Amino acid sequence: MDVVVSDHHLAPNPLPPATLFFNPRMCDPETVPCPHLAGVGVAFFLMAAVNMRLRKHTGKSYKMDRVLDLVAIGTLADVMRLTGQNRILVRAGLARLERPKRPGIAALKAVSGMHINAPVSASQVSFKLAPRINAAGRMRHARVALQLLRCTDYKKGLELAEQLNELNSTRRDTELIILDEARAQAKQHIKASGKCGLVLYGKQWHPGIIGIVATRIIEEFHVPCIIICDDKDTLKGSGRSIPGFDLYACLSEIPDHLMAFGGHRQAAGVRIMPGFLEAFRKDFQEATRKRLQDPGEEVIWLDGETPLKNVGSNTISRELGLMEPFGPGNTEPVFVSKPVEITSRQTFRSRQDSLEMNVRDLEDGTILHAKGWGMADRLGADLVGKPIRIVFTVRRENHYGFITPELTIKDWGPVDKEIIYQSPQGPAPSEDPAEEEGCGEDEEFPQA
């Protein structure tokens, strides 16, 4: 039969014996108007073209904007670059998510703590809706999420959404257990072999979680990382990389002990025969040593200094809203505060490594709510009431119909620390758009 492959990953060489390929990554980026589409975006444009052809023969057509909610969710879940067509598709899809026509999505908003008819931001899709959808495939079977998206009854949708919510809670608990074990291994390997690529292994680690854990490890240790676990009769690995390091190209240089691999510059999947783990680890360490340069200090690019009253104002809040959706390629503005103090702090019940706080501006007394993901150790209880400066982004959160600003703290420092700002005309942290995208899911494809 004729086979059409619709995809957005880097194509293998040689290509599989398909009839047609529909993949913007197989073309010169300069000649393609949408080189950074997610898989769901590629499928959307393919179906739009088929829809147009069918209309010529039947006189009927499907209204394609009815599926833009799914396109937005898929694009954000796959952490794609939010420029060009992706930005248009996501912005239009978010508008449809505000008053969802699909009962399953309305139910998912409800169990995620959102009002059914509340506006939805890109970050809310990325951190509330998408993780619950992905939890089905990670922890049980993706059909649960498919049933939710296709269901036509709100009561049934609510049952399925509750299942996804429970699976996501289990996923989060499992992730923390694996992360603690992986972190301990990472410290041992770095102590023994220096700062090079990490290959970490746990026999019982969950294959649906290892990609998320790999992301957490690179955030902490700033080196490429592949997390490996047993998967039936073979070993399965999920890798993540750091900006400037092409993980896919690195794996292409060391295929000797790999049964299969594939993915992006920043995310890849591998499959290894048992018994070859140590050989692959040695290959990966040597390959990363050759490619890695001294990363130096981690840099946070700042857009400016502002008192809290500015980001708390309705005017600034609306102006920031015009810049949305935020994501790779269109990152949130990052600000540094005037002197502030933490007036209260507590860890989340479900995540002991993360905080929610109230922060008060010492100059004008403005108090705003803030969260610090993974910051519990860095923002200790001893800092409460002491003058500090914080680096943060600001989001507009919908609380029961009221839009309020909420800070996400990225870093902090003493009030007298010198701050260097990025020039508005200066280079971005990464000039290659491919470096930031496609890290939403594990990537694994047959590759010689």
Token digits for 286?
């040597």
Find the helix packing angle between 39-58 and 68-77, rounded to 10°: 160
We report the CATH number of the domain holding residue 15 as 3.90.1640.30
CB count in 10 Å sphere of residue 1: 3
End-of-domain residue from the set 297, 323, 338: 297
* Residue 219 and residue 243 in one domain: yes
* Residue 242 and residue 257 in one domain: yes
3-class DSSP state of 234: strand
pLDDT digits (tens, 9 = 90+) for 128-179: 999 999 999 999 999 999 999 999 999 999 999 999 999 999 999 999 999 9
Query: In angstroms, what CA-CA distances link 359 with 34, 136, 352?
Result: 42, 37, 19
* pLDDT computed for residue 435 by the predictor: 33
Residues β-bridged to residue 340: 361, 388
End-of-domain residue from the set 134, 169, 204: 169
We report the CATH number of the domain holding residue 353 as 2.40.50.460
* pLDDT computed for residue 427 by the predictor: 36
Q: DSSP letter string over 188-243?
A: HHHHHH-SS-EEEEETT--TTTHHHHHHHHHHHH-S-EEEEEEETTEEEEEEE--T
Burial of 68 (0-12, 13-18, 19+ CB in 10 A): buried
Tell me if 120 is assigned to some domain. Answer: yes
Q: Which residue has the tokens 């909610």?
A: 69
Task: Tell me the backbone φ, ψ of residue 206, rounded to 5 degrees.
Answer: -80, 125
* Residue 114 and residue 257 in one domain: no
Tell me how many degrees the CA angle 241-86-316 measures, rounded to the nearest 5: 95
Segments forming the whole domain that contains residue 314: 304-413
Tell me if 343 is assigned to some domain. Answer: yes
* Residue 223 and residue 333 in one domain: no
Tell me if 432 is assigned to some domain. Answer: no
Tell me how many degrees the CA angle 315-316-318 measures, rounded to the nearest 5: 65
* Residue 131 and residue 49 in one domain: yes
CA distance 283 to 286: 5
* Residue 308 and residue 404 in one domain: yes
* pLDDT computed for residue 168 by the predictor: 94
* pLDDT computed for residue 265 by the predictor: 83
Tell me if 108 is assigned to some domain. Answer: yes
* Residue 338 and residue 376 in one domain: yes
Our measurement of the distance from residue 426's CA atom to the centroid of its chain's CA atoms, rounded to an integer in Å, reads: 25
Q: What is the 3-state secondary structure (H, E, C) of 124-190?
A: HHHHHHHHHHHHHHHHCCCHHHHHHHHCCCHHHHHHHHHHHHHHHHHHHHHHHHHHHHHHHHHHHHH
Token digits for 397?
């959160």
* Residue 275 and residue 314 in one domain: no
pTM (predicted TM-score)? 0.79
User: How many structural domains compose the chain?
Assistant: 3
Tell me if 431 is assigned to some domain. Answer: no
* Residue 292 and residue 312 in one domain: no
Tell me if 389 is assigned to some domain. Answer: yes
End-of-domain residue from the set 249, 282, 297: 297
pLDDT digits (tens, 9 = 90+) for 66-92: 999 999 999 999 889 899 999 999 999
Residues β-bridged to residue 198: 225
* Residue 36 and residue 164 in one domain: yes
* pLDDT computed for residue 77 by the predictor: 92
* Residue 14 and residue 44 in one domain: yes
* Residue 46 and residue 153 in one domain: yes
Token digits for 434?
């491919």
Tell me if 423 is assigned to some domain. Answer: no
Using DSSP bridges, classify how beta strands 335-337 and 389-399 pair: parallel, antiparallel or unpaired. antiparallel
We report the CATH number of the domain holding residue 290 as 3.10.310.30
Residues β-bridged to residue 355: 347, 372
For residues 62 and 109, is the Cβ–Cβ distance under 8 A? no
* pLDDT computed for residue 262 by the predictor: 84
What is the mean pLDDT for each group of 10 consecutive residues in the chain (448 residues)? 92 89 90 90 95 91 95 93 93 95 96 90 92 93 96 96 95 92 94 90 93 91 94 92 88 89 87 92 91 64 88 81 85 91 88 88 92 88 92 78 81 80 42 38 38
Tell me if 187 is assigned to some domain. Answer: no
Burial of 11 (0-12, 13-18, 19+ CB in 10 A): middle
